[in-house]
Chain A
Amino acid sequence: MEPRTYLWLIPILPLLGATLNGVLGRRFSRAAVSAIALLSTGLSCALAIFEVVTLSDVFPIIERHFTWIQAGSLRVGYDLLLDPLSSVMVLVVTVVGLLIHIYSVGYMAHEEGPNFGGFYRFFSYMNLFMFAMLTLVLANNYVLMFVGWEGVGLCSYLLIGFYFRKQSASDAGKKAFITNRIGDFGLTLGLFSLFWMFGTLDYQPIFARAAAMPVEPLHQFGALTIITLLLFIGATGKSAQIPLYVWLPDAMEGPTPVSALIHAATMVTAGVYMMARSNVLFSHAPTTLLIVAVIGAITALFAGTMGLVQRDMKRILAYSTISQLGYMFLACGVGAYAAGIFHLMTHAFFKALLFLAAGSVMHAMRGELDIFKMGGLRKKMATTYWTFLIASLAIAGIPGFSGFFSKDEILWRAFNSPEYGRLLWAVGWITAGLTALYMFRIVFVAFHGEFRGGDEAWHHAHESPRVIRVPLVLLAVGALLAGYVQVPKFIFGGVEKFSDFLAPVFASTTTHGVAETAVNGGHHLELGLTALSVLIALAGIGIAYLVFRAKPERADLLEQKLKPLHSLLFHKYWIDELYSTLFIRPIQFLSTWVLWKIVDLFVIDGLGVNGSGFVVRGLGRGLRHLQSGRVRAYAGWVVLGAVLIVAFLVFKV
């Protein structure tokens, strides 16, 4: 007998919270708003844990509720799926989400009235986001997933532009939305082609049929390759990969909990989740996989270099996020989906932690984010400092912290990839060094040394309240321990709980796909590579220490010496400017001179609207005579109409 399951409640509870707060929040007290938001997220989280724990023996669970759309042969149901992959995602989303909700209660406490009742609006959007994200990961077909996909995009837009009175915030919101639209266009085309090819959009039949298809040859573009490429375009938009990554740094205009939840831990990983979910399709299209791996590696490296020279703490973290997402794409690209998801999970903990700690700093510094106006904050904010440090060690890949295990796994699998494996590994390896460097640049500049922001600011700086510190500590525990579910073989024989857990989802991939990466070379090679990456991480930390801590004037010196390089990095390779010249200006030109001045003003306004307006006014004048208000005339028209119909029939026949 099927066990009774309540998956539908997991997304619905936050929706309920969002609706309550959204509709009635204006009349609720802050305590009530927080209670509703926390309760709905908390219940959802508890339920998710309960369902995963009790049901993990009988995975996958499919809950079919009702037919949502029935058009021709397309049937889309509100069907939810709980399997190892979605349960990992659900747990990450609800647990991290809950912690960030708790944090937000403290963080948003100073949110005052001018933003149209910011407090309840914020929590209503956050809960709505939880609903959309949970729908995305629990969906059992592409359409429902797409609904969640668009829903998180909408919430992201709303929350980036949360301070919509600020021009830059509302611009950033629009940028995120439009960039994502480009990606979504690809995704939509991908879904259409999936339907065209398989006649359904439910996961199981598509994967079953795709698994039986032959693997398409490398460097050729078969149907599956095209479809997966289209899906991948969608993923680059949502997960901020080259070439659509430009929106994520700007998205930091949103409140910090938003950056932590949406733009670090959950939403931006949707692309990775979608590719892991469609692993069967991707594994049958080696060409796409190669492109994914290359794009991921390049993004990781580029974003890492851009993060090196930024001064804004949240922006550095944003580039770091892009870079880490690049790792996950790299993992998917070499067929190591489990490793990608593993990194996704550990990253969710330490990156959320980093953002929340940054928020705590921002709180102390009254909104100041330039790390060169900080310094020595360690003394004022012990909890924040220690948690930030743990997260930095984790992301840098220092052994013992969660990031080490997941990053190591990805690099090892990349090294073993048959196509350009060594090269991909090398790029990832360099990025690892860069990661350690830019992270410890923050640590040394902001938390060590002398304070550079003036006495008054130093006086104001203080540790955040407990409601902020508790989530930090909890996340730090996660960042420390989350890695121990998957330990490489050379350490005490290893632990493979995570990949075993996920194995059923990627089963068909490993039996049919090309991703059967022969783990050759044995443990010694793996150990050696690991040592190398630890080494480069330590080197990164060392350089950061030497340049920014031991002799801070070296930083300026270095900047002087490497002026062109610094400028290139600081201006983010002028990519924004490039896009502006390549796409935005031409489009603006086109829209100003061709579409607006010629098409709009002349053709549409002139000929179309004014012309049709002229015609319509003329018609209206004519018709007004018809609409004379005289009953006799109306009756006459009725008769005339009847006569006309008779005439029509007589002359027709």
Chain B
Amino acid sequence: MFNQYFQPNDILIIYPELLLALFAMGVMIIDLFLDRAWKVLNAFTALVGIAYAAYALYRLKSNALNLSGYNHAILNDSFAIYFQFVFLIATALVILISARYLSIEGENRGDYYALILLSLIGMNFMVMGIDLITLYIALELMAVSEYILVGYLRTNRQSNEAAMKFFLLGAFSSGILLYGISLLYGISGSTDLRVIAQRLAERPSHDPIALVAVVTLTAGLLFKIGGVPFHQWLPDAYEGAPSTITTFISVAPKAASFALILRIFIVGLKPLETSWVPVLSVVCVLTMTLGNITAISQSNIKRLLAYSSIAHAGYLLLGLIAGNEYGITGIAIYFLVYAFMNIGIWTLVVAMRRKDLIGDQIQDMAGMIYKNPGAAVLMLVFLLSLAGIPPTAGFIGKYYLFASVIQTHHYVLAVIAVLNAAISLYYYFRVVVVMFMSEKTDEEKMTLSPGVLTSLAVTLVFTLLIGIYPEPFIRFAQNSLSLFQ
């Protein structure tokens, strides 16, 4: 029953995504028939879907299948599979912390989970795609789901404003990206990144059309990861979005966008390396520095973490600039680490939310060590990890990224990066000081739902484990090196 357009293999290599799609629709439909008290079932359904998809992905990884499908539009290599695992982990953790938060916000509906799963599908295709059209559609699937999720608190003005901004600017940047894609197609006559690379290599260097294509692609993609000067939507969106969604978009879509950047730049635009490396170096320095310096003066923890996440995007660009095996491994391991430490810290921010307290001011954490010693210590661990202090996982990630640029002799970049890491200590420790040194302002303790507790336990264990015993995780991350093949 198959023909030249479809192979049985095609279905198999996107089996995890098919499952996710099924569950996304399932959650949406099941939700319609659930009582208010049973809405938590939606989270379970979504988690089952993710577990199922993870299992399918695992089977896919262990079976030696032909990983290319759909007329070479999709390449489910070990790079893609690695990143898909990161997305699955991040999404599962976010779903764990969502149920309680949503019921406090009074927005406990199934389409929330459906949208998260759809966004996850988009991300999975973003890392699998090797064809620009596939990549673009996957990107839009992810982005559109995010726009809605950011504005999910319908009665909250801030949330709506954030969603509107995010949507307008996202659409704008997508337009620019699409322009770059069309130029590449115009140059090479193909949307397959590998073919594009061949055609670009045949063309003279400093080809103006190719340069314009690089610029527009860079601008469009940097927008997604919040690179300076395309970062301005990010703090507004992070602050306005529901905290759980901020948790989500600060990790998974960022990793997906970065994987997409890696595919496009390392595979497709490799011949133009000499022109994009200097551009990205400048952007990288600006991103790290501006992110860190602006973070210093923030009083809102969500905004502080938003700027910190901009700075982290800067560190991650180091790996791309190096473009060697160390750099790619560094980016891969960094996102795994980032998924744990960042979700860990955001989980605590989410847990601060009470009926009467939004809990997003740094001052709300005053004297946390007296009220919730456990939470304060956890926060300390995650902050240390974000700052990259051993023996936490963050150190391993930074080590690989910084080492990669040293290997490629970008010493100035390495020095600036290290200086930035030092600056970042300042504002991370400001939070620590407030938690540990200030007097508490009220007596009310945090209540932690089982989901939040699970998420905290998992993130803490892995943040420490990767820091103390990084070996297996690094080997896992080295899967991403299939990018070079």
Q: Report the bound CA distance from A642 to B227 in whole Å.
A: 12
Q: Report the bound CA distance from A438 to B290 in whole Å.
A: 67
> Which of A443-451, A504-512, A643-651 lies on the face that meets chain B?
A643-651
**Is A627 in contact with chain B by the CB < 8 A criterion?**
yes
Contacts of B215 in A (CB 8 A): 642, 645-646, 649
Most chain B beta-carbon contacts within 10 A, residue among A620, A644, A645, A648: A645
B275 and A649: CB pair below 8 A? Answer: yes
B212 and A646: CB pair below 8 A? Answer: yes
**Proximity string of chain A (602-644) to chain B, C-beta cutoff 8 Å, 1 when within and 0 when not:** 0000000000000011011001001101010111011011101
Residues of B within 8 A of A (CB): 164-165, 168-169, 172-173, 176, 206, 211-212, 214-216, 218-219, 222-223, 229-230, 232-233, 235-236, 275, 278-279, 282, 290, 293-294, 296-297, 469-471, 474
A616 and B176: CB pair below 8 A? Answer: no
Secondary structure of the A side of the interface? helix
Contacts of B169 in A (CB 8 A): 631, 634-635, 638
Contacts of B471 in A (CB 8 A): 66-70
CB distance from A78 to the nearest CB of B (A): 8
Contacts of B172 in A (CB 8 A): 635, 638
Q: Which of A67, A631, A644 contacts B164 (CB 8 A)?
A: A631
Secondary structure of the B side of the interface? helix
CB distance from B431 to the nearest CB of A (A): 17
Contacts of A652 in B (CB 8 A): 275, 278
**Is A653 in contact with chain B by the CB < 8 A criterion?**
yes
Q: Which of A68, A616, A619 contacts B469 (CB 8 A)?
A: A68
A637 and B168: CB pair below 8 A? Answer: no
Q: Report the bound CA distance from A617 to B298 in whole Å.
A: 11
Can you name 20 A-B residue pairings with CB atoms under 8 Å?
A66-B469, A69-B471, A70-B474, A626-B232, A627-B232, A631-B165, A631-B168, A631-B169, A634-B233, A635-B168, A635-B172, A637-B230, A637-B232, A638-B229, A641-B219, A641-B230, A642-B176, A645-B279, A649-B214, A649-B215
Contacts of A626 in B (CB 8 A): 232
Q: Report the bound CA distance from A627 to B231 in whole Å.
A: 10
Contacts of A631 in B (CB 8 A): 164-165, 168-169
Contacts of B470 in A (CB 8 A): 69
Contacts of A634 in B (CB 8 A): 165, 169, 232-233
Q: Report the bound CA distance from A627 to B235 in whole Å.
A: 9
Most chain B beta-carbon contacts within 10 A, residue among A633, A637, A640: A637
A623 and B229: CB pair below 8 A? Answer: no
Size class of the contact patch on chain A? 20 to 34
A residues 24-77 near B (Cβ < 8 Å) are 66-70
Q: Which of B216, B275, B282, B293 contacts A642 (CB 8 A)?
A: B216
What are the 6 tightest A-B residue pairs by CB atom distance, in nearest-first order?
A: A641-B229, A642-B219, A620-B297, A634-B232, A653-B206, A645-B215
Contacts of B223 in A (CB 8 A): 638
Q: Report the bound CA distance from A645 to B216 in whole Å.
A: 9
B176 and A638: CB pair below 8 A? Answer: yes
Given A623-B290, A623-B294, A638-B230, 12 additional A-B pairs, CB 8 A: A66-B469, A68-B471, A620-B296, A626-B232, A634-B165, A637-B229, A640-B229, A641-B219, A641-B222, A642-B176, A642-B216, A645-B215
Contacts of B218 in A (CB 8 A): 645
**Proximity string of chain A (150-170) to chain B, C-beta cutoff 8 Å, 1 when within and 0 when not:** 000000000000000000000
CB distance from A622 to the nearest CB of B (A): 10
Q: Report the bound CA distance from A616 to B426 in whole Å.
A: 13
Q: Which chain A residue shows the least CB distance to B214?
A: A649
- Asked if A649 meets B230 with Cβ closer than 8 Å, knowing A68-B471, A631-B164, the reply is no
Q: Which chain A residue shows the least CB distance to B166?
A: A631
CB distance from B172 to the nearest CB of A (A): 5
CB distance from B223 to the nearest CB of A (A): 6
CB distance from B163 to the nearest CB of A (A): 12
Q: Report the bound CA distance from A375 to B278 in whole Å.
A: 83
CB distance from B473 to the nearest CB of A (A): 12
B233 and A649: CB pair below 8 A? Answer: no
Q: Report the bound CA distance from A623 to B474 in whole Å.
A: 38
Q: Report the bound CA distance from A168 to B485 in whole Å.
A: 64
Q: Which chain A residue shows the least CB distance to B469?
A: A68
Q: Report the bound CA distance from A633 to B165 in whole Å.
A: 11
Q: Which chain A residue shows the least CB distance to B172?
A: A635
Contacts of B294 in A (CB 8 A): 619-620, 623
